[in-house]
Structure 1
Amino acid sequence: MVESQVELPTPWGRLAGTLLLPAGDGPCPAALLIAGSGPTDRDGNNPLLPAPLDNIRRLAEALAARGVATLRYDKRGVGASVYPGLSEEVLRFEHLVDDAVALAARLASEQRVTRVTLVGHSEGALIAALAAEDAQAQGVVSIAGAGRRASALMRKQIEGHLPADIAGPALATLATLESQQAVQDVPDALVLLFRPTVQPYLMSWFRYDPAAVLAELSQPVLLVQGTADVQVDVEDARQLHAARPDARLKVVEGMDHLLSLQGDIPGGTEAVAAEVAAWLQELDVGVAA
């Protein structure tokens, strides 16, 4: 494997990531790896979590071992993706889609790369689907991708975890944001979740129905979902599959949202990489035929 650092200038700063090429000199398929929600870096690590995961890095390495090049990256404003003067209140979901399109083009420019597939985990799955057409992607892989709007997932989490005196105002705030209206007076108990500066981003995210987005794609789709995922469950994958009946659905027994098999992240990322690499090989055979 050959690893190198990538920097892509942008109007607002720069995007930075890691290019990992498989051994050898021949042409190879490639995947842009798009991480999940929050301030997640190129390796899949998030300062809000108690310990590093490195699940995206491990996925990249497992794919390289199977002949697939990858580019994984820090989100704008995270790690080495420098965004001077970044303000939370100006960030929109569409900005993350724009970044994926730009980085897919950068990956496609590599001499050894044949075609680029967008591989998204969790929130990254929706970003991949929205970016696919403009990125002229070979395909889209959704790993633990939601089958419902983000607001529907948040509603489920609120109803199941918050006490009634907090859940009521939280659900009312959520409904207002779903209608694309800002909420001025957020209760103190909900400021972390619905602070005014994050509301524009949430509203931009809530506009998209993942199943409807997938249904409109022309690219082939692979859906990978774990049975131990308590954040996005198998029913979400089935909703996506119903929207795209021609997609391949792979359910990984015992895998959770972090791509871990009973606490074993290397085992989970190996399982996912095997599915993705085999699917990409079939796509390449189909193109050749």
Structure 2
Amino acid sequence: MKRKNVKLMMLAALFPMLCWAAGEQPISLGTPTGEIQGRVMLPDVERPPVVLIIAGSGPTDMDGNSLLGAVTLKNNSLKLLAEGLARRGIASLRYDKRGIASSAAAGKEEKDLRFDDYVADARGWIELLSEDSRFSGIFVVGHSEGSLIGMLASEGNAKVKGFVSIAGAGHPAYEIIETQMSNQPAEVRQLVKNINDSLRAGKAVNDVPVGLMALYRPSVQPYLMSWYRYDPREVVACLEQPVLLVQGDKDIQVSVGDAEALKAAQPQAELHLIENMNHVLKSCDTVDAGVQQATYTNPDLPVVEELLNVIEKFIKP
């Protein structure tokens, strides 16, 4: 009996090593509407910190690629981010948002989707990671719209040790939309503002002009109402964890001013501006949209090394 107990103790001691395998592994999160699929990237070290990587807006998958009609914008930005962190001894979990790519089955009808669904999913992943003894601590990294999702998932969550915003908006969605419409005729700008004001008040708009139907179609209005509730400046101000704000100065989708707005709202946050980094985390020395387009469709371009360095320093000071 004594010899048998010794063997069991040896197996127990070896078990963590037998289970650990550096590389990429599939993982899934069960939700009431179906499973969300993800990938865990494991470095060649035991009990590393792990980051939950949250993708940005639209049909963006876990690798940072988007399908726009028949065109795929494949840049692998988030996959390259995960691989770069793994080389620095940091694990990661990235996932296809509900309704996107391998998580398509978990999608809801557009009229039923809410911004808070994405936040709940992120919280679900954090809970799952917190139960995994392979990791020493959880950090959240949100890119673009994923920044606000990550902030909300981290707010009041003691399981999150730190939050990183990459190219996160510093203004609420309705302000961003109105800014994007600033070059339209005054009549259109006023229509947009009127619709936004109504949605912010929780009132649906039935008489949307044909020219604005793609943006404000009835089925998407409930989602917009749920999204408009949040001002990133107010949310980041509530975070009690250490916060790192990262912004590229060649980003043509989110400005340095957005990062500065978040910093002003959360003075304790660390702000790092990266020279010649664009929205897909690649090096580009111009804000010319035509030139930048090539970086959005080139998965062979690496992500900016400085980005990996500042995240590593934040997670492993």
1:20 is the counterpart of 2:41: yes
- What is the deviation of 1:165? 4.8
Count the aligned residue pairs.
280
CA distance in 2, matches of 1:110, 1:177: 41
Gaps of 5+ in 1: 283-289
- 1:29-40 mapped onto 2 (5 Å cutoff): 29-40=49-60
Which residue of 269, 273, 283 maps to 2:308?
273
Question: Counterpart of 1:102?
Answer: 124
Instruction: Report whether the alignment pairs 1:142 with 2:165.
Output: yes
**1:82 CA drift (Å):** 4.0
Q: Quick check: 1:204 aligned with 2:226?
A: yes
Residues 270 and 7 (structure 1 numbering): CA distance in 2 closer, same or farther, change over 3 Å?
same
Secondary structure class of the residue paired with 1:113: coil
Report if aligned partners of 2:31, 2:106 keep a CA contact under 8 Å in 1.
no
Could you tell me which amino acid in structure 2 is paired with residue 225 of structure 1? Answer: Q
- 1:67-78 correspondence runs (5 A): 67-78=89-100
Give me the TM-score of the superposition, normalised by structure 2: 0.84
**How far apart are 1:163 and its partner, in Å?**
4.2
- In structure 2, what is the Cα distance between the partners aligned to 1:50 and 1:39? 10
Q: C-alpha offsets along residues 87-140 of structure 1, whole Å, 9 cap, x if unaligned?
A: 111111111000001111222333321111110001100111100134720111
Q: Share of identical aligned residues, percent?
A: 43
Q: Residue type of the partner of 1:209?
A: D
The residue type equivalent to 1:23 in the other structure is D
1:10 and 2:45 are equivalent in the alignment? no
Q: Deviations over 1:174-222 (max 9, x none)?
A: 2322232211111111111111111111111111111111111111100
Looking at structure 2, the residues matched to 97 and 273 of structure 1 have their Cα atoms a distance apart, in angstroms, of 25
Q: Does 1:181 align with 2:203?
A: yes
Question: Following the alignment from structure 1 to structure 2, what is the Cα–Cα distance between the partners of residues 59 and 34?
Answer: 12
Task: Judge conservation of contact 1:101–1:135 (CA < 8 Å) in 2.
Answer: no
Deviates further, 84-93 or 220-229? 84-93
Give the SS at the match of 1:80.
Answer: helix
On the 8 A contact 1:41/1:74 being kept in 2, the answer is yes
The secondary structure found in structure 2 opposite 1:151 is: helix
Distance (whole Å) between structure 2 residues aligned to residue 110 and residue 2 of structure 1: 17
Residues 99 and 107, structure 2, Cα contact 8 Å, conserved in 1: no
Shift of the 128–66 alpha-carbon distance from structure 1 to 2, 3 Å rule, reads: same
Q: CA deviation at 1:242?
A: 1.0
Counterpart of 2:238?
A: 216
Check conservation: 2:98, 2:106, Cα contact below 8 A.
Answer: no
SS of match in other structure, 1:81? helix
Q: Secondary structure at the match of 2:309?
A: helix
Structure 1 residue 153 corresponds to structure 2 residue 153 = no
Q: Unpaired segments of 5 or more residues in structure 2?
A: 1-21, 285-291
In structure 2, the residue matched to 1:250 is 272
1:214, 1:243 within 8 Å by CA — same for their partners in 2?
yes
Q: Give the distance between the partners of 1:12 and 1:54, measured in 2 at CA.
A: 27
CA contact (8 A) 2:174 2:228 kept: yes
How far apart in 1 are the matches of 2:130 and 2:76?
24
Contact 1:35–1:41, Cα closer than 8 Å, also in 2: yes
> Within 1, Cα distance between the matches of 2:177 and 2:158?
29
Question: What pairs up with 1:109-124 in 2 under 5 angstroms?
Answer: 109-124=131-146
